[in-house]
C-alpha cells in the first residue's frame, strides 16, 4: 500500500510499493490500543532525504503477541550430521527453504555503500553496514495496518556483532599473525575493526513474498565500539568508572579530560542478548577484556591512578586483562585501550547495554544494576504481578549464573514508566547444591543476593570485606556491582562449566501474553542454561575461585560437583531449574540436568585427569541427534527449545561423529532432540528468532571459514556467496561463488508456509 504522506525518497530510492515510515507513524497514531504516539511534530520530515528521525522518538512500543497455537511436538525429520570434510553450505530438512538475508558488509542505512569483496572499504562505510560476526538477535515487529497487531512481515532486527576476523576484515590483514608479514596496525584499520563490532539495527520487510533489508529507513543504525553511551544505575558516577576521556577521531583518540562516571564509549564483544517487555533490546558485553592490553602489567600505570593501583590490578587479574589482549592491538594506536595508561577504562565495559531500537537517536545505556562480568545473555521473565527478572550467564570457565530482579513492576500501559526499570533491583548469584529436591532427580539451589549486608563464606558481611569497603552502603553496592565476580567469589557461588545462553520455557497455552516470557498458574517458571564445556573441571590439583577475589580469570580447577558432574567436560550439558513459588523473586529453586551432551560412538581420548568412573558420561544421554558444546538456547512461541552449538567447526577429533556446528530442536517434555540445520566449515551457529507467528525464522551463521589467512581468505569457505547467487530479496550477492566468507543472517521458511519446527 502506498500511503498518503509517502515521502519522496521512498518513491525514488525504493521502487517497491511498501508502506513508508510515515504510514506507520500515522497508523500508530490511529491504533492507540497497542501503540503510543507522542512527539511527532511539524518538523518531521527532515533528515535522511525526507524521512524523519525526530518524529519517531517515543512513537512506537512493542505490542503483545497473539496467543500461540498448540504445541504439536517436532514435525520434521532429523537431518544427518555434516561430517568432515564439511560441505560448504547450510542444510535444512526437506520441506524447508533457506535464503540469505544479510551478510557482513551489506548496507543497513541510507548512507551505506554496497559491500566490496576486496575488503578495501573503510570505517565510515562499515559504520553504515552490517557488522562482522553476527550473534544474538531479536525481532521487534512493527504494527500492522488496522488492528495494530504485531507484523509478521515488517520489523526491526537487532543483531549483535560479536567480534572480527581481522585477516578477512582488511585487504592485507592486520598484523604478521594473519599471514601477511608486511601488514601493520594502523588507526584506519583499528577504526574499521571498531566499527565492525557492536550492534546492527536493520529494518527487515517481506515484500512480494521476499524478505529483504530495507535500507531507506530512519531506523537503520549501527552501534559500535565507539558509540557514546550513558552509564546508569547504582554504580554510575563512581570513582572507579572515571576513566580518561578521549575525543574519538578517524585519525586517532585525543585525550580530553576525565569521564564523569556517567558516560562511556562503545560496546564490544556483544555475544548473546535479551529484550524487555517494554520493547528495548539488551546487548551483552562478553569477552571485552581482550580488546585492552596492559603492556607493562601495570608497572607503568599512570601516576594519577597510583592510589588505586592495587585495586585496579586486582580487578584486571580477575577479569583477564593481559599484556597483549587477544591480539587486536587496538591499544598500539588507540590509547583508550591501553590499560596501563587508561586503567579505569576496562571498568566501563562488561555491562548489559539497553538500546531503544524504535528511537534511532536514543543513547544506549549501560545498566550497572545488572552486574559487571562477561555477559552472555539476559533473558526476561515476567510474572502475573508484572514482576520482572533477568537470567544471566558469565561465560568463562568456573564462573557463575546470575539473576537480576527489578525493584519495581513492569507497567504494560505506560512505556515511559519502564525506561529506567533496569536501574533499581537486586542482583543474585546462584548456588547449586546436591540437596535432594521435592521430585525424583531434582536438587535444590539458592539465590544469594549481592548486597552490602550479605554474609560471605568467611563470616563477614560484604561491606566489611576490604575489596568492597566504603563509607556508605550505597558506595559499597556500587563497588560490588563493578566487582561482581569478586562478590560472587566471596559468597561461595557455584562455579559452572561456562554459562552460555539462558532461555525461558514457553507454553502453548491460549491467552499467553507475549513471546512466552510470562509464567503463572500451570506455566512453571523454568529456566534453561547451556554450559558449553570446561577443560579445567576435575583437573589436579583442585582449586577454587578465592573468596577474596584474587583468582586469575578462568584459573580455578574445581572438582566435579552435582551440577557440573564431568571432568574435562568437552561436550557440555544443559541445566534447568524451576523457581520456588513460581516467581522470579524466589530465593530458591529446584534443578536437574536436561541433557549431558556427547556422542554415542565416541572413542574420545581421555585426558590424564579424567576419572574412568565417569567414562560413560561422554557418550551423552541424548534422546535423538548427538551434539556437543551447546551455546545458543531459545524457546519459540510454541514451546520448542532450539539449541545452537559452538564447537570446533572442522568436525575433526572429538567432533568426527557429531559433524559441523548445528541447530537442533528439543522437546522439553520428552527430551527428544532432532537436528534441524547443519553449517559450513569453521563457523558457529548463533542467534535465532522468528516472526511472531513462527513462520519466518532468522538464524545467524558466524565466522564461516574461520582461521583463513589474509593471503587466502577463502582457504576454508566461500560461504554464503557459493550457496546463494542472490539474497532473499533477489539481489545479486557481490562476492559470487568464490569470494571471502562472510558472517550472515539467513532466513528460513517452510515451503508450505507453516510454523517452523511444526
Which residues bind to Ca ion, rule: CB under 5 A? 271, 631, 646
Nearer to ligand FEO by Cβ, of 632 and 757: the residue is 632
| 394 touches 320 (CB < 8 A) | no
Buried b (16+ CB within 10 A) or exposed e, 707-743: ebebeebbbbbbbbbbbbeebbbeeebbbeeebbbbb
Cell of 672: 527428544
> What is the DSSP secondary-structure string of 403-436?
EEEESS---TT-GGGGTTGGGSEEEEEEEEEEEE
273-312 residues in contact with ligand FEO (CB under 6 A) are 286
Residue 340 binding result from ligand FEO, Ca ion, none, given CB thresholds of 5 to 8 Å by partner type? none
Q: Candidates 376, 475, 579, 654: give the one binding ligand FEO (CB under 6 A).
A: 376
Task: Please give the angle made by the CA atoms of 228, 218 and 203, to the nearest 5 degrees.
Answer: 100
**Least distance (Å) between residue 533 CB and ligand FEO:** 11
Nearer to ligand FEO by Cβ, of 500 and 515: the residue is 500
| DSSP designation for 319 | H
Question: According to the binding rule CB under 6 A, does residue 631 interact with ligand FEO?
Answer: yes
Nearer to Ca ion by Cβ, of 253 and 682: the residue is 682
Residue 489 binding result from ligand FEO, Ca ion, none, given CB thresholds of 5 to 8 Å by partner type? none
Nearer to ligand FEO by Cβ, of 105 and 700: the residue is 700
560-579 residues in contact with ligand FEO (CB under 6 A) are none
Task: Please give the angle made by the CA atoms of 587, 590 and 591, to the nearest 5 degrees.
Answer: 125
How far is Cα 667 from Cα 362, in angstroms, rounded to an integer?
A: 39
Residue 285 binding result from Ca ion, ligand FEO, none, given CB thresholds of 5 to 8 Å by partner type? none
Contacts of residue 616, Cβ cutoff 8 Å, sequence gap at least 6? none
How far is Cα 35 from Cα 28, in angstroms, rounded to an integer?
A: 6
Question: According to the binding rule CB under 6 A, does residue 394 interact with ligand FEO?
Answer: no
**Least distance (Å) between residue 682 CB and Ca ion:** 13
**# residues contacting ligand FEO (CB under 6 A):** 7
**Least distance (Å) between residue 562 CB and Ca ion:** 25
Burial of 508 (0-12, 13-18, 19+ CB in 10 A): middle
Nearer to ligand FEO by Cβ, of 190 and 271: the residue is 271
β-pairing, 623-624 vs 588-596, is unpaired
β-pairing, 228-232 vs 263-265, is antiparallel
Nearer to ligand FEO by Cβ, of 486 and 497: the residue is 497
154-193 residues in contact with ligand FEO (CB under 6 A) are 162
**Least distance (Å) between residue 500 CB and ligand FEO:** 5
**Least distance (Å) between residue 484 CB and ligand FEO:** 17
**Least distance (Å) between residue 707 CB and Ca ion:** 15
Task: Please give the angle made by the CA atoms of 114, 116 and 122, to the nearest 5 degrees.
Answer: 90
**Least distance (Å) between residue 230 CB and Ca ion:** 26
How far is Cα 689 from Cα 138, in angstroms, rounded to an integer?
A: 6
489-528 residues in contact with ligand FEO (CB under 6 A) are 500
**Least distance (Å) between residue 492 CB and ligand FEO:** 24
Nearer to Ca ion by Cβ, of 136 and 741: the residue is 136
Nearer to Ca ion by Cβ, of 119 and 370: the residue is 370
**Least distance (Å) between residue 376 CB and Ca ion:** 6
Question: According to the binding rule CB under 6 A, does residue 127 interact with ligand FEO?
Answer: no
Q: Which of 312, 291, 302 is nearest to 340 (CA)?
A: 302
Buried b (16+ CB within 10 A) or exposed e, 190-208: bbbbbbbbbbbbbbbbbbe
Question: According to the binding rule CB under 6 A, does residue 271 interact with ligand FEO?
Answer: yes
Question: According to the binding rule CB under 6 A, does residue 531 interact with ligand FEO?
Answer: no
Task: Tell me if residue 317 falls in helix, strand or coil.
Answer: helix
Residue 580 binding result from Ca ion, ligand FEO, none, given CB thresholds of 5 to 8 Å by partner type? none
Nearer to Ca ion by Cβ, of 213 and 683: the residue is 683
Q: Which residues bind ligand FEO (CB under 6 A)?
A: 162, 271, 286, 376, 395, 500, 631
Amino acid at each position: 500500500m502506498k500511503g498518503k504522506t509517502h515521502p519522496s525518497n521512498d518513491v525514488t530510492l525504493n521502487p517497491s510499493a511498501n508502506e513508508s515510515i510515515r504510514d506507520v507513524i500515522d497508523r500508530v497514531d490511529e491504533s492507540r490500543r497497542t501503540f503510543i504516539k507522542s512527539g511527532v511534530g511539524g518538523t518531521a520530515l527532515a533528515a535522511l532525504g525526507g524521512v524523519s528521525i525526530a518524529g519517531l522518538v517515543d512513537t512506537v512500543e512493542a505490542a503483545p503477541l497473539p496467543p500461540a497455537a498448540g504445541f504439536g511436538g517436532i514435525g520434521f525429520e532429523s537431518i544427518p550430521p555434516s561430517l568432515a570434510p564439511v560441505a560448504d553450505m547450510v542444510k535444512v530438512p526437506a520441506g524447508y527453504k533457506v535464503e540469505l538475508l544479510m551478510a557482513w558488509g551489506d548496507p543497513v542505512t541510507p548512507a551505506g555503500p554496497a559491500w566490496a569483496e576486496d575488503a578495501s572499504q573503510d570505517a565510515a562505510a562499515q559504520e553504515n553496514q552490517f557488522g562482522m560476526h553476527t550473534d544474538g538477535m531479536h525481532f521487534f515487529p512493527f504494527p500492522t495496518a488496522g488492528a495494530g497487531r504485531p507484523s509478521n512481515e515488517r520489523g526491526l532486527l537487532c543483531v549483535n556483532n560479536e567480534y572480527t576476523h581481522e585477516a578477512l576484515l582488511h585487504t592485507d590483514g592486520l598484523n604478521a599473525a594473519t599471514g601477511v608479514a608486511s601488514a601493520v596496525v594502523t588507526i584506519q584499520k583499528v577504526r574499521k575493526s571498531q566499527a565492525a563490532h557492536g550492534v546492527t539495527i536493520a529494518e527487515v520487510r517481506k515484500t512480494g513474498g521476499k524478505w529483504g533489508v530495507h535500507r531507506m529507513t530512519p531506523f537503520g543504525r549501527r552501534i559500535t565500539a565507539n558509540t557514546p553511551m550513558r552509564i546508569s544505575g547504582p554504580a554510575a558516577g563512581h570513582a572507579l568508572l572515571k576513566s580518561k576521556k578521549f575525543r574519538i577521531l578517524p585519525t586517532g583518540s585525543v585525550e580530553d579530560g576525565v569521564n564523569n562516571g556517567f558516560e562511556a564509549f562503545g560496546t564490544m564483544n556483544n555475544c548473546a542478548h535479551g529484550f524487555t517487555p517494554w520493547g528495548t533490546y539488551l546487548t551483552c558485553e562478553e569477552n571485552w577484556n581482550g580488546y585492552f592490553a596492559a603492556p607493562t602489567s601495570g608497572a607503568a600505570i599512570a601516576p594519577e591512578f597510583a592510589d588505586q593501583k592495587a585495586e585496579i590490578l586486582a580487578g584486571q587479574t580477575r577479569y583477564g586483562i593481559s599484556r597483549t589482549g587477544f591480539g587486536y592491538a587496538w591499544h598500539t594506536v588507540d590509547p583508550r585501550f591501553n590499560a596501563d595508561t587508561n586503567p579505569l577504562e576496562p571498568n566501563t565495559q562488561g555491562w548489559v547495554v539497553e538500546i531503544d531500537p524504535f528511537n534511532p537517536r536514543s543513547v544506549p545505556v549501560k545498566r550497572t544494576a545488572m552486574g559487571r562480568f562477561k555477559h552472555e545473555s539476559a533473558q526476561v521473565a515476567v510474572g502475573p504481578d508484572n514482576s520482572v527478572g533477568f537470567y544471566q550467564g558469565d561465560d568463562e570457565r568456573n564462573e557463575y549464573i546470575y539473576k537480576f530482579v527489578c525493584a519495581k513492576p513492569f507497567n504494560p500501559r505506560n512505556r515511559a514508566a519502564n525506561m529506567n526499570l533496569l536501574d533499581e533491583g537486586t542482583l543474585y548469584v546462584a548456588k547449586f547444591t546436591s540437596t535432594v529436591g521435592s521430585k525424583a532427580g531434582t536438587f535444590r539451589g539458592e539465590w544469594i543476593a549481592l548486597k552490602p549486608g550479605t554474609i560471605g563464606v568467611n563470616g563477614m558481611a560484604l561491606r566489611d570485606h576490604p575489596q568492597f569497603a566504603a563509607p556508605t552502603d550505597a558506595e559499597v553496592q556500587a563497588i560490588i556491582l563493578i566487582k561482581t565476580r569478586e562478590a560472587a567469589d566471596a559468597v561461595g557461588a557455584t562455579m559452572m562449566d561456562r554459562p552460555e545462553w539462558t532461555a525461558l520455557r514457553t507454553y502453548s497455552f491460549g491467552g499467553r501474553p507475549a513471546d512466552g516470557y510470562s509464567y503463572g498458574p500451570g506455566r512453571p517458571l523454568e529456566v534453561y542454561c547451556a554450559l558449553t564445556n570446561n577443560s579445567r573441571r576435575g583437573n589436579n590439583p583442585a582449586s577454587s575461585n578465592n573468596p577474596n577475589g584474587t583468582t586469575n580469570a578462568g584459573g580455578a580447577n574445581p572438582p566435579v560437583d552435582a551440577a557440573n558432574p564431568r571432568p574435562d567436560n568437552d561436550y557440555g550439558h544443559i541445566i534447568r531449574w524451576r523457581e520456588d513459588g513460581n516467581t522470579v523473586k524466589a530465593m530458591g529453586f529446584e534443578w536437574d540436568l536436561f541433557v549431558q551432551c556427547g556422542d554415542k560412538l565416541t572413542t574420545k581420548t581421555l585426558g590424564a585427569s579424567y576419572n574412568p568412573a565417569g567414562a560413560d558420561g561422554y557418550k551423552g544421554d541424548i534422546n535423538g541427534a548427538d551434539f556437543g558444546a551447546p551455546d545458543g538456547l531459545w524457546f519459540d512461541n510454541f514451546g520448542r527449545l532450539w539449541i545452537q552449538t559452538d564447537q570446533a567447526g572442522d568436525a575433526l577429533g572429538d567432533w568426527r561423529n557429531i559433524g559441523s556446528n548445528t541447530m537442533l530442536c528439543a522437546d522439553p517434555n520428552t527430551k527428544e532432540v532432532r537436528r534441524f540445520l547443519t553449517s559450513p566449515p569453521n563457523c558457529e551457529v548463533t542467534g535465532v528468532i522468528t516472526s511472531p507467528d513462527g513462520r519466518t525464522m532468522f538464524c545467524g551463521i558466524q565466522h564461516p571459514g574461520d582461521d583463513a589467512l589474509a593471503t587466502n581468505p577463502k582457504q576454508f569457505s566461500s560461504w554464503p556467496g557459493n550457496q546463494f547467487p542472490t539474497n532473499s530479496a533477489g539481489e545479486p550477492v557481490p562476492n559470487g561463488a568464490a569470494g571471502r566468507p562472510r558472517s550472515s543472517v539467513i532466513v528460513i521458511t517452510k515451503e508450505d508456509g507453516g510454523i517452523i519446527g511444526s
